Structure 1
Amino acid sequence: MAPDHWSSLVMAGHRETAMPQPPKRLTPSNSPLDLFGSEVRRYRALVDHSIKQLADKIPYSASFIGAVERAECHCERNFAEHCDAVLDTKQALSHLHDGLFGDKKDGFPEWFRKWPAVEEQAGTLKVYEPTVIYGLLQREEYASSLLFGDREATDARLARQSVLTRTDPVAPRLIYVLPELVLWYDVGGPDVMRAQLQHLVDAIGPRLSVQVIPNGVPHPGNEGAFVLATLPDGKEIALAETAARGIMMDTREDISRLKDRFDAICTQALPTSMSADLITRTIGEKWNHEPRTRLAQVEP
């Protein structure tokens, strides 16, 4: 399974405007996330900081801070520590984080925990995923099926997807390449697959391209999934899949090798418009009816 079979941090983005909407009302007793978010907001308000002012002083974006305050995502203890230092809480948020979340890691393996922070900073993401639909583009039902109904892991993955819809800062440019076979793998049944593939087509836009490698076309993408992230300062970081885990890498040699492989894979993929047509045809040919084998299973 690709790096996105599991996730780590989550992040959400809503633009802070000159005339902000009233903050979401939180009921701290509803959940640990609500309680923690309400306390972050309370301590921030006590020192008369806007979300942007806080973001300027800690290594987290305004969109992520807002998501934490709205109880839309988890955060690492480091986030609480940075807020404590800036807001002069006398470690109140770190202590609260320990009490509420302890050693919970949101159902994510340790190796993945740093990657979503890279996604949040990235200006460009180049993705090759040969097994399933890439996690940032999965619908809830598709993700839940892959994650065997794990609610916490599914919510985390979905929340992380907001990096693609934020406006401040602008969403990363996503270039996504996948083999045609991924469109034919049954994940959750025909209804789930129809909706998932249509979502993939609908997601295509100026900052998001999808390119499909037709079945039978040889390409150098048989060694597993990988993602290449380019940060605003030009630094490049990759996450590559192994049989046991994903590995983050940033050495020049590793990045160069993966960039060459990605370029070679892309030369065998259809342009985005033709890929969208192929996905749409696959919906009609494969997923617009219940397979006979499934019907046979429910017949008396």
Structure 2
Amino acid sequence: MASPRRRAVTSPALAAFGRQFRRYRERAGLSQARVAQRTGKTASFVSQVESGKKRCKREFVEIMDPELKAGGVLLTLHDDLTNDGRLGFPTWFDWPEVEAEAEVLTWWEHTVIPGLLQKESYARAFLGSDEAIAARMARQEILTREVPAATTLIAFLSESALTNLIGSRETMREQLEHLIAMSELPNVTIQVVVNDDGVPAGTGGAFILATMKDRSEVAYLETTVRGITTDDDDDLIGLARTLRTLTSKALPASMSRELIRKVIETKWT
């Protein structure tokens, strides 16, 4: 029986704010005890704010922003955190940190190859700078690292992602060969979703579902405007429904590799 779905025990958005607060505190050379003294709190409270376990009031940030020489940045982040609407995840939320801490990532892409599986030549078609490309390549290290243990990736790809021309034919051939190589890693599963009954699946858009070590889940949804991060119960239930459909229409890993090889030979060679 599958583990029950859980919201994050520690809010990822609060944890992201806490990391920013800690960076400014450490840069200013202040201890948690000094922050506690200055704000009339305890060092334990400051620690919990920095770890995302407690939400601090704006008055707390109003005191510390100038003392940490944050130039209003922490106040802006705090306001974004509390005013960004129902989802509760501000636009500055750092998804890559959640991605790196996740135990399992389940990824659906209907148009392109997932970023964690992209070759550099393929990524250049989307990213406009060497810095952005280097950052994407660095993110991929979570799949091959030894400490902590490598992240498990389950990637569902539409057939269209294999046949859409990105860059050049050579770029596509190298990218699909890379997919085959990555699919042979013990922690990476790649399955191609086929539309063999005239009913396409996953038409709502690409998404990533991160399962954390405490079994809580956080999702990243791609839209034409911006990415949305959510741990809302209704959103997670909807994604679970989509994943069930994708799983029912996906080829097994071995058959998916064969299909990828066939696409290389018939379209990109």
Please, what TM-score do these two structures have when normalized by structure 2? 0.67
**Residue 282 of structure 1 is aligned with which of 250, 260, 263?**
263
Q: Deviations over 1:213-241 (max 9, x none)?
A: 12544343111001111100121100112
Distance in 1, Cα, partners of 2:119 & 2:30: 37
CA contact (8 A) 1:130 1:221 kept: yes
Q: Deviations over 1:37-93 (max 9, x none)?
A: xxxxxxxxxxxxxxxxxxxxxx89xxxxxxxxxxxxxxx8657436547897xxxxx
Q: What is aligned with 1:212?
A: 192
Q: What is aligned with 1:180?
A: 159
CA contact (8 A) 1:175 1:209 kept: yes
Q: CA offset at residue 151 of structure 1?
A: 1.6
CA contact (8 A) 1:237 1:248 kept: yes
Matched, 1:81 2:24: yes
Distance in 2, Cα, partners of 1:157 & 1:184: 22
1:130 corresponds to which letter in structure 2? Answer: H
Distance in 1, Cα, partners of 2:191 & 2:112: 14
Distance in 2, Cα, partners of 1:112 & 1:284: 43
**Mapping of residues 47-126 of structure 1, within 5 Å:** 80-81=23-24, 83-84=26-27, 111=91, 113-126=93-106
Matched, 1:133 2:113: yes
**Mapping of residues 232-271 of structure 1, within 5 Å:** 232-271=213-252
**Mapping of residues 7-22 of structure 1, within 5 Å:** none
Q: What is aligned with 1:36?
A: none
Q: What is aligned with 1:20?
A: none
Q: What is aligned with 2:129?
A: 150
| Structure 2 CA distance for partners of 1:287 and 1:79, relative to 1, 3 Å | farther
Distance in 1, Cα, partners of 2:240 & 2:29: 39
| Structure 1 unaligned spans of 5+ | 1-58, 61-75, 89-93, 99-109, 289-300
Q: CA offset at residue 181 of structure 1?
A: 1.1
Partner-residue secondary structure (3-state), 1:145:
coil
Distance in 2, Cα, partners of 1:123 & 1:196: 25
CA contact (8 A) 1:146 1:187 kept: no
Q: Deviations over 1:129-148 (max 9, x none)?
A: 1110000111100001122x
How high is the sequence identity, in percent, across the aligned residues? 40
1:181 corresponds to which letter in structure 2? Answer: S
| Structure 2 unaligned spans of 5+ | 1-14, 32-67, 72-89
Aligned residues: 198
Q: CA offset at residue 259 of structure 1?
A: 1.3
Distance in 2, Cα, partners of 1:144 & 1:136: 14
Partner-residue secondary structure (3-state), 1:166:
coil
CA contact (8 A) 1:219 1:264 kept: no
Distance in 2, Cα, partners of 1:167 & 1:260: 33
The range that moved more, 208-217 or 171-180, is: 208-217
Partner-residue secondary structure (3-state), 1:243:
coil
Partner-residue secondary structure (3-state), 1:116:
helix
Partner-residue secondary structure (3-state), 1:242:
coil
CA contact (8 A) 2:195 2:249 kept: no
1:242 corresponds to which letter in structure 2? Answer: T
1:277 corresponds to which letter in structure 2? Answer: E
| Structure 2 CA distance for partners of 1:83 and 1:169, relative to 1, 3 Å | farther
Q: What is aligned with 1:50?
A: none
Distance in 2, Cα, partners of 1:166 & 1:190: 31
Matched, 1:223 2:166: no
Q: What is aligned with 2:139?
A: 160
Distance in 1, Cα, partners of 2:145 & 2:28: 27
